[in-house]
Chains A and B, each alone.
Chain A
Amino acid sequence: MDVDRKGSPSIMLPSADTRTAPGETASNTALVRDLAAIVGSENVCSTTAERMVYESDGFTMARRRPAAVVHPASTAEVQAIVRLAASRGIPFVARGAGTGLSGGAMAPPGGIIISLTRMRRILDIDLRNRRLTAEAGVVNLKVTQAVAAHGLHYAPDPSSQSACTLGGNVAENAGGPHTLKYGVTVNHLLGLKMVLPCGELLDIPGETEDNPGYDLPGLITGSEGTLGIVTEVTVRLTPLPQKTWTALAVFETITDATRCVSSIIAAGIIPAALELMDANVIQAVEAAFHFGLPLDAQAVLIIELDGLEAGLDELGARVRGICESHAVRELRIARDEAERTALWMCRKKAVGSLGRLAPSHCTQDCVIPRSALPEVLEKIGQIARDFDLRIANVFHAGDGNLHPIVLYDDRDEEQVQRVLECNAAIVRACVEAGGTITGEHGVGVEKLEFMPLIFSDADLATMDRVRAAFDAQGLCNPGKLLPGGGGCADLVLNKKAAV
């Protein structure tokens, strides 16, 4: 695979496929007919309009129209579809709700999308053993809703949890604000069923912990759909905390807020969540939800502690003390569950509310050591000025997981190019500070060019071999995650595609 491992500032933005290529119609008709034989014609999208809406997921800078979209209702149907694709040499990718932020669910060239949104049944709830088995298309939040009455919840809570699916969560090893204390998807995945790229079924039961042999769920989680199609998962259910203490801390400067974050962690306190929103985000969120956030503050922290009732208020007092030592302007503690929910809605829908500030945005996702927060954020501010772009920051401060969000107008090609370069500069700054290129959004197509920044040729070659062990033909979500992986290094660079 001949890929520029130095990481050119360009990202591949394929667009050629958004037009109907000559000859596409004839081969498509045959493909659609054969897919329809498996799932029924009403479950295959074949018209231009129907295929068009699947051009991108939540990452809209790269788009490619799939040759067809097929909606299976069972693992057996997924197997049949994958076998068909494998026999024809047609690349494929699984897609859930399409909320991913790195283009992971974009169709490969000439490929089909296998949409799992019809597979939305919760199959089994085992309260005694605190585990739940569900199809991959089940929406994350529905799991918690199904067991909340029993005092349990599903801990990974990505901000898109009201829409995103469990299958996508596994593919991206999704996190969320509360992963600071509770861990990410991989820590809550007990078993799974995955259709291998040849059509065979891998079935790892979730009945016992610590299976012998290779930790396949561990390997598959975060593999971004390159090793197969997960169709069913068994997840761990976590008891709801006895008590929760949620506070909003208001700071005059981002530096005060980030230093406060470091001090809280350094004091040995593990908050359930520790989130930061900067002035741009405060503006958008306040316009959307009217929580009463201070519009003149430079940063707010949402600090959540949870656990046993005994001792929680004392811990809260310690946190207050730390905040005060970092010049906190105001510390407002949520009085009740309603206020807590309202505050979390501000945080969880923050990225969405940025549509109020600009027509398009591109969310970055890098992780840095917490101690480097103050200087990296200053650097990002400088980068924004250098590229004459507006950047909003809303992120999981407790893990050092940054989400600088670049605001722009995707109808302006010159601006799109600047955004791409600005993104690259941010990623480099994070890597230079000892960080890494993605925390939870995945590599997808967005971060491909940056993989060589953190992995050596030998690292990447090893990953290529792992991938090949699962997918010898290179048909399963090629062109994602690994720069040279899957026989698909020929993705074209096309800046115009970001329309």
Chain B
Amino acid sequence: MTQPRKRRDDQTALARLTDELVECIHCGLCLEACPTYVELNREEDSPRGRIYLMRSVAEGRAALDGSMLHHLDVCLGCRACETACPSDVKYGLLLEHTRTHIEEAAHRPVWQRLGRRLLMEVFTHSATMALAMFFATLPSRLLRNPPSAPGGIVSRIMGAHGDGGNLRLERFPSPRPSRLQRLTPAAGGKKLRVGLLEGCVMPVLFPEVNMATVRVLSKLGCEVVVPSGQGCCGALHVHNGYGRQAARMALRNMAVFEAAQCDVIVVNSAGCGSTMKEYAGLFPEGSPEREQAAAFSAKVRDVSEVVAALLEQTELKPVEMTVTYHDACHLAHGQKIRSEPRRMLSAIPGLQLVDLPESDHCCGSAGVYSFTQPDMAVRLLKRKVTNIESTGAEVVATGNPGCQMWIRSGLKLEGSSVRALHPIEIVDLALDGATTSGDSPSRH
């Protein structure tokens, strides 16, 4: 535009975003892409409605009251609206800043604030998380029940209704996270030096996915470094309104991976990868950190990006399996990665890849959403499980631990025999890796 834009004096996280907020031209093409709109059919639970609310707060036309907070909290942050938006509105960014503003300015009951902080701390430190999971599953262990963690209690503390957030796990977790070795040499000639993000959830709930990732990368000619000193990527923080902490975490990872001198930084968790590709947004424009972050992000790859390319010249063993693929939101919408994981799976002889209806519709896991909004999370999970069952596949593959945990839990809840695996575990099978046992086929 030729006209200068008016600026507000008030420099809250939200007010700074007015220019981005007005990029929404209210066309409504995002509505049917939004999982919460499709469930609730209400404007205030749609991306367009939420942007309208954000804008009205930023422009001082409305107060951030309980009702507004509720509708902003119901947003999954799945960013399916970004895929649908013809105007390229950066909804994810708007939501992150709005949530930072909410945590700074809105009134939440003290226990909810504490509960939120606690969730952040637990899920972003694998040692703490392993202990928490150990104790959470203790009752079911003592009662000789199948392993489950009572997420519903957490949800109620957070002020939510319903108890649908209970997690049904594959096995009782170990009280200590399982770590990867710091350096794994490339098998055969070294093509790349790859830094791997170990993650917070992976070493506790899916150590087998991390191990499969290392095996696959190594067999495909990558030297794999897992630098010590790395920490949480900050995704949960930035998605839930703790932008400053996220920036600190980003700086730490940037330094650690910089020192490790890798060609690329590989991430096997969609949510983490998406955040690490957007580190620059955590720092003010023009700051040196922002530039460093951009350079760091340029090296970040989802594991499927690296593996799909390397697989092309590799001979694979047949894996007789019918697989369907669920697009993790932060891969499909956050990183625009859809074809690589499918290409990776299609390359495996004997494997039949079948389409999943609504494959890029959020499963409801969405970070800590399944704890903070269990009702909607469970509605979306049931929809996802029904779609998965309709394909007749034996396995649903998905590239994000949150989805894998939540979908696996949903499949168990519905008594389904479908297994939820990370695509890299299936590639590992085709490369004759160790058995991916996290989800043994002989389940009952």
Interface pick from B61-69, B104-112, B220-228, B407-415 = B61-69
Which B133-172 residues have C-beta < 8 A from chain A? none
**Are B3 and A409 in touch, CB under 8 angstroms?**
yes
With contacts A49-B71, A409-B1 taken as known, whether A137 is within 8 angstroms of B28 at the C-beta atoms is: no
- In the assembled complex, 12 residue pairs joining A and B whose CB atoms fall closer than 8 Å, in A order, are A53-B48, A58-B27, A115-B42, A163-B28, A163-B29, A163-B32, A287-B88, A349-B86, A355-B88, A356-B23, A407-B1, A411-B5
Per the bound structure, the CA–CA distance linking A55 and B89 in Å amounts to 21
Apart from A48-B63, A54-B43, what are 17 other A-B pairs with CB-CB below 8 Å?
A: A47-B65, A50-B71, A53-B43, A58-B26, A97-B28, A115-B42, A137-B41, A160-B27, A349-B29, A350-B86, A351-B27, A353-B88, A356-B23, A360-B22, A408-B1, A415-B3, A499-B59
Per the bound structure, the CA–CA distance linking A50 and B68 in Å amounts to 7
The answer to whether B25 has its CB under 8 Å from any CB of chain A is yes
The answer to whether B49 has its CB under 8 Å from any CB of chain A is yes
Q: Which residue of B lies closest to A55 (CB)?
A: B52
Per the CB 8 Å criterion, the residue count for chain A at the interface is 51
**Are A45 and B86 in touch, CB under 8 angstroms?**
no
Min distance, Cβ B64 to any Cβ of chain A, angstroms: 9
For residue B43, which residues in chain A have a CB less than 8 angstroms away from its CB?
53-54, 69, 98, 115
B42: contacting residue among A47, A117, A359, CB under 8 A: A117
Per the bound structure, the CA–CA distance linking A57 and B49 in Å amounts to 11
Min distance, Cβ B428 to any Cβ of chain A, angstroms: 33
User: Using a Cβ cutoff of 8 Å, how many contacts connect chains A and B?
Assistant: 131
With contacts A353-B87, A359-B1 taken as known, whether A411 is within 8 angstroms of B53 at the C-beta atoms is: no
Min distance, Cβ A279 to any Cβ of chain B, angstroms: 17
**Are A353 and B41 in touch, CB under 8 angstroms?**
no
For residue A164, which residues in chain B have a CB less than 8 angstroms away from its CB?
28
Per the bound structure, the CA–CA distance linking A137 and B65 in Å amounts to 30
For residue A75, which residues in chain B have a CB less than 8 angstroms away from its CB?
none
B26, B27, B44, B89 — most chain A CB neighbours (10 Å): B27
The answer to whether A352 has its CB under 8 Å from any CB of chain B is yes
For residue B65, which residues in chain A have a CB less than 8 angstroms away from its CB?
47-49
A52, A55, A56 — most chain B CB neighbours (10 Å): A52
The answer to whether A288 has its CB under 8 Å from any CB of chain B is yes
**Are A360 and B25 in touch, CB under 8 angstroms?**
yes
Residues on A close to B: CB < 8 A? 18, 45, 47-50, 52-58, 60, 69, 71, 97-99, 115, 117-118, 120, 137, 139, 160, 162-164, 287-288, 349-356, 358-361, 407-412, 415, 499
For residue B3, which residues in chain A have a CB less than 8 angstroms away from its CB?
408-409, 412, 415
Per the bound structure, the CA–CA distance linking A350 and B25 in Å amounts to 12
**Are B53 and A53 in touch, CB under 8 angstroms?**
yes
**Are B27 and A52 in touch, CB under 8 angstroms?**
no
**Are B87 and A352 in touch, CB under 8 angstroms?**
yes
For residue B18, which residues in chain A have a CB less than 8 angstroms away from its CB?
411
**Are A411 and B44 in touch, CB under 8 angstroms?**
no
Q: Which residue of A lies closest to B55 (CB)?
A: A499
Q: Mark B176-198, 1 if CB is under 8 A from A, else 0.
A: 00000000000000000000000
**Are B5 and A71 in touch, CB under 8 angstroms?**
no
The answer to whether B385 has its CB under 8 Å from any CB of chain A is no
Min distance, Cβ A175 to any Cβ of chain B, angstroms: 17
**Are A411 and B22 in touch, CB under 8 angstroms?**
yes
Q: Mark B54-93, 1 if CB is under 8 A from A, else 0.
A: 0010010111010110010000000000001111110000
The answer to whether B24 has its CB under 8 Å from any CB of chain A is yes
Per the bound structure, the CA–CA distance linking A415 and B1 in Å amounts to 11
Q: Which residue of B lies closest to A350 (CB)?
A: B86
**Are B53 and A58 in touch, CB under 8 angstroms?**
no
Per the bound structure, the CA–CA distance linking A137 and B1 in Å amounts to 37
**Are B27 and A358 in touch, CB under 8 angstroms?**
no
Q: Which residue of A lies closest to B25 (CB)?
A: A355
For residue B444, which residues in chain A have a CB less than 8 angstroms away from its CB?
none
Per the bound structure, the CA–CA distance linking A164 and B85 in Å amounts to 15
A47, A160, A287, A355 — most chain B CB neighbours (10 Å): A355
A139: contacting residue among B32, B42, B67, B88, CB under 8 A: B32
Q: Which residue of A lies closest to B20 (CB)?
A: A359
**Are B28 and A99 in touch, CB under 8 angstroms?**
yes
**Are B62 and A48 in touch, CB under 8 angstroms?**
yes
Min distance, Cβ B86 to any Cβ of chain A, angstroms: 3
With contacts A52-B52, A71-B42 taken as known, whether A162 is within 8 angstroms of B29 at the C-beta atoms is: yes
For residue B6, which residues in chain A have a CB less than 8 angstroms away from its CB?
411-412
Per the bound structure, the CA–CA distance linking A162 and B88 in Å amounts to 17
For residue B204, which residues in chain A have a CB less than 8 angstroms away from its CB?
none
**Are B26 and A56 in touch, CB under 8 angstroms?**
yes
Interface residues on B, range: 35 or more
For residue A57, which residues in chain B have a CB less than 8 angstroms away from its CB?
26, 28
**Are A163 and B86 in touch, CB under 8 angstroms?**
no
**Are A409 and B22 in touch, CB under 8 angstroms?**
yes
**Are A160 and B28 in touch, CB under 8 angstroms?**
yes
A53, A97, A407, A411 — most chain B CB neighbours (10 Å): A53
Which B199-250 residues have C-beta < 8 A from chain A? none
Per the bound structure, the CA–CA distance linking A364 and B88 in Å amounts to 22
**Are B1 and A355 in touch, CB under 8 angstroms?**
no
For residue A45, which residues in chain B have a CB less than 8 angstroms away from its CB?
42, 44
Min distance, Cβ A42 to any Cβ of chain B, angstroms: 10
For residue B49, which residues in chain A have a CB less than 8 angstroms away from its CB?
53
For residue B23, which residues in chain A have a CB less than 8 angstroms away from its CB?
355-356, 359
B30, B43, B88 — most chain A CB neighbours (10 Å): B43
Per the bound structure, the CA–CA distance linking A164 and B1 in Å amounts to 29
B3, B65, B85 — most chain A CB neighbours (10 Å): B3
Per the bound structure, the CA–CA distance linking A214 and B63 in Å amounts to 51
With contacts A53-B43, A410-B22 taken as known, whether A98 is within 8 angstroms of B28 at the C-beta atoms is: yes
With contacts A99-B27, A411-B5 taken as known, whether A352 is within 8 angstroms of B86 at the C-beta atoms is: yes
Per the bound structure, the CA–CA distance linking A354 and B63 in Å amounts to 30
B19, B56, B63, B65 — most chain A CB neighbours (10 Å): B56
With contacts A45-B44, A361-B25 taken as known, whether A354 is within 8 angstroms of B87 at the C-beta atoms is: yes
**Are B53 and A120 in touch, CB under 8 angstroms?**
no
With contacts A49-B62, A50-B67, A411-B22 taken as known, whether A160 is within 8 angstroms of B29 at the C-beta atoms is: yes
**Are B29 and A352 in touch, CB under 8 angstroms?**
yes
For residue A288, which residues in chain B have a CB less than 8 angstroms away from its CB?
86-88
The answer to whether B427 has its CB under 8 Å from any CB of chain A is no
Min distance, Cβ B87 to any Cβ of chain A, angstroms: 3
Q: Which residue of A lies closest to B89 (CB)?
A: A355
The answer to whether B31 has its CB under 8 Å from any CB of chain A is yes
**Are A48 and B67 in touch, CB under 8 angstroms?**
yes
Min distance, Cβ B333 to any Cβ of chain A, angstroms: 16
Per the bound structure, the CA–CA distance linking A352 and B26 in Å amounts to 9
Per the bound structure, the CA–CA distance linking A337 and B68 in Å amounts to 44
For residue B24, which residues in chain A have a CB less than 8 angstroms away from its CB?
355
Per the bound structure, the CA–CA distance linking A60 and B51 in Å amounts to 14
For residue A115, which residues in chain B have a CB less than 8 angstroms away from its CB?
41-43
Min distance, Cβ B441 to any Cβ of chain A, angstroms: 34
For residue A162, which residues in chain B have a CB less than 8 angstroms away from its CB?
29, 32, 84
Per the bound structure, the CA–CA distance linking A499 and B85 in Å amounts to 22
With contacts A52-B53, A139-B32 taken as known, whether A355 is within 8 angstroms of B86 at the C-beta atoms is: yes
Q: Which residue of B lies closest to A388 (CB)?
A: B2
For residue B28, which residues in chain A have a CB less than 8 angstroms away from its CB?
57-58, 97-99, 160, 163-164
For residue B29, which residues in chain A have a CB less than 8 angstroms away from its CB?
99, 160, 162-163, 349, 352
For residue A99, which residues in chain B have a CB less than 8 angstroms away from its CB?
27-29
